[in-house]
Amino acid sequence: MSDATLSMPNTLAAACYPIKALLADIGDIATSLDPADLRRKSRDYYWYSPILAARLRDKVADIIITPRDEADVVRVAAACYRHRIPLTVRGGATGNYGQCVPLEGGVLLDMSAMNRIEWQTPGIVRVEAGAKLFDIDAQTRPLGWELRMHPSTKRMAQIGGFVAGGSGGIGSVTFGGMREPGNILAARIVTVEETPRVIELRGDAAQKISRAYGTTGIITVLEMPLAPALPWIDVIVAFDDFAESIRFGRAIAMADGVVKKLLAPIEWPLPQNFASLRQYCPDGKAVLLGMIGSMSIESFETLLDSFGGTLTYKAPSEDVLTKAPLYEHSWNHCTLQTFKVDRSITYLQVLYPHNRIVEAAAEIGARFEGEVMQHLEFIRINGLMTASGLPVIRYSTPERLDEIMAAYEALGIMIANPHVVTLEDGSRYKRVDADQLSFKHEVDPLGLLNPGKMRSFVPRLPGAQQ
């Protein structure tokens, strides 16, 4: 690697860091300074938001570092502290809020090489943070177990990124969100200090790194609970009325004896964008996508008899790399399927009041007919069955988007704003847990980890990154 390459200015990042000194400190750990790599790996799916697309398109790291093991991570953390270089951790980069976009340049820590499963026992797996969720299930399923939940990006996403940037997904209708007690058993992290520490967080303490965008420590290992691996049946049910698809979805969600992994009511015209499922989505009909345990499919169909839906598709789930699974039309993949045919849309993330899901959805539908296309996902939160919403919005202006969000909130529907990059203003409902903020001061005193993502944090030491 030539000195000319090492001194090549990063034209997209405003800051200038001592990269040559950093390289001298980290030795033979794999790195890249290639401009194409830097730009590609400094992005996630933030372009779902036209607001973030404009804000983040020029943000790029100065160097990519790919650690082989935890010892490499410790070495990089020490070097970043020594030279005051920001460090942003990258998983599979399937997030939507710029979680792994380095706002202040510096190091992008690519965790993809740390992908080993350390061990598994009945009901538990311990894995390195860079392991893909698809690969984890591929190794646990032969022993009769699978991850409790996963995002719709399961085939690409890494477990560390899911824990650090996600909240729930396929499986949450039964097991709740990531922050429900018991859904993270332990997390091993590296601090960014003069002498980095390796800390094992167990039980409730592990929530300090959940949904924190990598600001509260570099996750190296996770211990996650597993669920029995069952034969799942994919189903699609068509309804004349969107409200009826919600009512039926809630009936199945509340039926404790019916084993389920996914229940997603989706309003027309969104199903017309499901290319691989289009023949099962009749024109003008709302649909409910579901994954039902094979032992419960008869009960599912019996309950359906009480509603006005038509079962248009029923087949064993196929979770293979060569074919788009049904779950890749749920959660934010529903938005992605629409993006494939219309790049002018955007979306929101909302949480319905558990006791008036149908009524609230109906009020939104009446007020924003043709502008807001609704999509719900049933999820259990704090023991109550409710629904998360990922409505697709015909985007016009930021001001109009604010009006739509205000209308949701006026109906008691909580907004997780996906058009901002900070934890406080976005997906944590305008707050950061006190324990997370306090923990960040302990493990990242200079504020070098993913700076700009936790607005509440103010470094306490002189000479810190602001």
**Is the pLDDT score of 351 beyond 60?**
yes
Cβ contact 387:377 at 8 Å: yes
**Is the pLDDT score of 285 beyond 50?**
yes
In this prediction, residue 5 carries a pLDDT of 34
Where on the phi/psi map is residue 420: left (φ > 0), alpha (ψ -120 to 50), or beta? beta
Which tokens is 248 given?
């039926």
In this prediction, residue 167 carries a pLDDT of 87
**Is the pLDDT score of 461 beyond 70?**
no
**Global confidence as pTM:** 0.92
- DSSP for 87-147, written as a single string: EEEESS---SS-TT--TT-SEEEE-TT---EEEEETTEEEEETT-BHHHHHHHHGGGTEEE
Average of per-residue pLDDT across 326-354: 96
In this prediction, residue 29 carries a pLDDT of 98
**Is the pLDDT score of 458 beyond 50?**
yes
206: number of Cβ within 10 Å:
22
Which tokens is 101 given?
């976009």
**Is the pLDDT score of 134 beyond 80?**
yes
Tens digits of per-residue pLDDT, 238-277? 999 999 999 999 999 999 999 999 999 999 999 999 999 9
Question: Is 306 or 10 the better-scoring residue by pLDDT?
Answer: 306
How long a stretch of residues is the chain?
Answer: 466
Q: Give every CB contact of residue 276 below 8 A, 6+ residues apart in sequence.
A: 324
For tokens 């311990």, the residue is: 126
Mean residue pLDDT of the chain comes to 93
**Is the pLDDT score of 3 beyond 80?**
no
Angle between helices 70-83 and 19-26 (to 10 degrees): 150
Average of per-residue pLDDT across 435-454: 94
Cβ contact 232:171 at 8 Å: no
In this prediction, residue 13 carries a pLDDT of 40
Q: Give every CB contact of residue 116 below 8 A, 6+ residues apart in sequence.
A: 127, 128, 131
Tens digits of per-residue pLDDT, 384-440? 999 999 999 999 999 999 999 999 999 999 999 999 999 888 753 445 677 888 999
**Is the pLDDT score of 381 beyond 60?**
yes
Average of per-residue pLDDT across 209-223: 96
